[in-house]
């Protein structure tokens, strides 16, 4: 027994092998400490993957906040994240979901529980991280007016072909390849010297059918004495009905340049037409028959001497021969322009959320005539407005993004002439003789400057209502036109100046992608 006790005492005092035992214990700590770096990298990798997955889920589900409940969105988000992570060892819990249908936003927050390989040796079997994402559609609905140049120069260098392809591709992007979209509306405004608002609107209450507007009698007279004043009325639609082989093409002239407030006039704003205020109505375009006496007249479509209803017209002055109302009966010479001079054949397409009519309207465009960017701009504004003449636009509020995409390949144009009208072509302002552009000078430079000013004023009025304007000037012909388009645009970043027709597709695609995109705000 004594020997056994001595051996136990000796064993207790023997320190050989202690280091090995201590090292065995410490190695666990050392391995866990060194491995913590590996675990941390793994956790960060999982967190980054989860953030991407959550962002994707938030973007995908944001449009559904108006249709699905929070629980349904939560379930769908969880499924999308788990599917994208593709790691069954990671546990995902959706902790927070917040929707705001007014702002169009969706906020999601998730907690990930990730197993550890090394720190589990020191009783830390898992690590948790949180990820959050918020997606907000810039607006709940998008309304786009494509204001597209249909002037004759668009026929050269495949410009119209490229424009049609670019506008169609933008349409496909905005509709996301679907035939219809509940919150995407597109309208088309083809423009030349005029905008065709649709011949089917002849009976609309906002058309000056009675001829009471102060400009309805421009270039008309009811007698053979030019010195006697004539105040109308002139029902231009009735004049068309008296002609057996032509009807109104759907174009209207610019409203009078009558002030409706600081920096705003009837021909640049969206004042609601009111039958009790005739100048607010829209007057059908009617290019008058020009006299037979000059070979240079471009729109001589009635033989003055054969106008049966005008017994003494052949004896009057050129002005009298042009203005006599009695001329307009029977058939006209259709080899010249006629009363629908330069009215684009493609009518305006009101806003629609069905894709095919938009594509058809784009395809129907034909390059012909002059360029009046002002008319395109102001009618793009009116197309988006919730009030007549086009009422398809939603009210102005934070829920709807209203956008004009305005493209031209030229400048505001007039074709001056030394004849009594001051120009070769009848336009939305009549002739320079009618003084509709508010200038005493008939020079092309002075008239163009006034058209530029009214274009800018129309854009300013649209932007004042919250409308975003993109301008596209294909190889702009001069600095004044480029400056006008830059001023019209919402910002310089919204103005584009491609130099080749083939570049139009990239510009339209970029704009469409901006409008279709969601933005991540967190």
For 76-117, give the secondary structure using H, E and C. HHHHHHHHHHCCCCCEEEEEEEEEECCCCEEEEEEEEEEECC
Q: How far apart are the first and last CA of the chain?
A: 79
Beta bridge partners of 105: 100, 136
120 falls in which pLDDT band (50, 70, 90)? low
User: Left (φ > 0), alpha (ψ -120 to 50) or beta: where does 127 sit?
Assistant: beta
Name the average pLDDT for the chain: 87
Instruction: Give 232-247 pLDDT, tens digit per residue.
Output: 899 999 999 999 999 9
pLDDT at 305 exceeding the cut of 80: no
Residue 26 CB contacts under 8 Å (≥ 6 apart), including other chains: none
Residue 118 exposure: Cα atoms within 13 Å on the Cβ side: 17
Instruction: Give 189-245 pLDDT, tens digit per residue.
Output: 999 999 999 999 999 999 999 999 999 999 999 887 778 889 889 999 999 999 999
| Better-scored residue on pLDDT, 33 or 136 | 136
Cα torsion through 382, 194, 377, 238, rounded to 10: -20
| Better-scored residue on pLDDT, 99 or 462 | 462
40-44, 67-71, 168-172: segment of lowest average pLDDT: 40-44
Most confident range, picked from 174-178, 291-295, 305-309, 407-411: 407-411
344 falls in which pLDDT band (50, 70, 90)? very high
Mean pLDDT value of segment 404-420: 93
The pTM (predicted TM-score) of the whole model is: 0.76
Sheet bearing 105-115, strands edge to edge: 91-100, 105-115, 126-137, 518-520
Instruction: Give 446-477 pLDDT, tens digit per residue.
Output: 999 999 999 999 999 999 999 999 999 999 98
pLDDT at 518 exceeding the cut of 70: no
Interatomic CA distance for residues 146 and 151, integer angstroms: 15
What is the sign of the dihedral through the CA atoms of 232, 233, 239 and 242?
negative
Closest CA to 95 of 77, 82, 83, 80: 77
Closest CA to 91 of 64, 67, 127: 127
Domains recognised in the chain with CATH numbers:
18-137 (3.10.450), 141-520 (3.40.50.410)
Instruction: Give 315-333 pLDDT, tens digit per residue.
Output: 678 888 899 898 899 999 9
């Amino acid at each position: 027994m004594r020997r056994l006790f001595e051996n136990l005492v000796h064993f207790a005092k023997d320190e050989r092998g202690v280091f090995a035992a201590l090292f065995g214990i410490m190695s666990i700590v050392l391995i866990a400490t060194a491995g913590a770096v590996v675990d941390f990298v793994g956790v960060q990798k999982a967190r980054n993957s989860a953030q991407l997955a959550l962002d994707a889920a938030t973007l995908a589900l944001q449009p559904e906040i108006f249709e699905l409940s929070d629980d349904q969105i939560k379930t769908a988000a969880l499924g999308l994240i788990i599917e994208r992570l593709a790691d069954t060892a990671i546990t995902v819990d959706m902790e927070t979901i917040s929707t705001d249908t007014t702002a169009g936003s969706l906020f999601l927050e998730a907690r990930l529980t990730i197993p550890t390989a090394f720190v589990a040796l020191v009783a830390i079997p898992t690590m948790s991280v949180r990820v959050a994402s918020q997606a907000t559609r810039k607006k709940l609905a998008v309304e786009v007016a494509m204001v597209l140049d249909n002037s004759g120069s668009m026929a050269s260098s495949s410009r119209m072909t490229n424009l049609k392809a670019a506008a169609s591709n933008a349409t496909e992007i905005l509709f996301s390849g679907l035939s219809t979209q509940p919150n995407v509306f597109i309208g088309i405004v083809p423009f030349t010297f005029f905008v065709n608002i649709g011949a089917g609107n002849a009976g609309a209450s906002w058309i000056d059918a009675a001829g009471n507007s102060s400009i309805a009698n421009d270039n008309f007279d009811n007698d053979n004495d030019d010195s006697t004043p004539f105040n109308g009325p002139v029902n231009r639609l009735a004049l068309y009905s008296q002609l057996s082989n032509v009807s109104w093409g759907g174009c209207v002239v610019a409203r009078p340049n009558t002030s409706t407030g600081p920096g705003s006039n009837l021909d640049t704003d969206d004042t609601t037409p009111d039958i009790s205020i005739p100048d607010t109505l829209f007057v059908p375009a009617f290019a008058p028959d020009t006299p037979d006496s000059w070979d240079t007249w471009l729109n001589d479509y009635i033989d003055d001497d054969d106008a049966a209803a005008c017994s003494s017209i052949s004896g009057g002055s050129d002005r009298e021969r042009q203005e006599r109302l009695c001329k307009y009966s029977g058939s006209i010479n259709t080899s010249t322009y006629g009363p629908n001079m330069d009215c684009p054949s493609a009518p305006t397409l009101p806003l629609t959320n069905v894709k095919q009519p938009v594509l058809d309207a784009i395809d129907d465009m034909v390059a012909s005539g002059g360029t009046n960017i002002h008319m395109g701009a102001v009618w793009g504004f009116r197309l988006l407005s919730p009030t007549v003449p086009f009422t398809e636009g939603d009210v102005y509020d934070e829920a709807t993004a209203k956008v004009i995409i305005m493209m031209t390949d030229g400048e505001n144009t007039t074709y001056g002439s030394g004849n009594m009208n001051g120009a070769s072509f009848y336009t939305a302002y009549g002739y320079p003789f009618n003084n509709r552009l508010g200038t005493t000078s008939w020079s092309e430079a002075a008239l163009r400057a006034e058209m530029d000013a009214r274009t800018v004023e129309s854009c300013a009025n649209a932007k004042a209502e919250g409308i975003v304007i993109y301008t596209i000037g294909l190889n702009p012909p001069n600095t004044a036109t480029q400056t006008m388009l830059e001023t019209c645009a919402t910002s310089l970043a919204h103005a584009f100046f491609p130099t080749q027709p083939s570049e139009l597709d990239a510009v339209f695609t970029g704009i469409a992608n901006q409008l279709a995109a969601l933005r991540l705000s967190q």
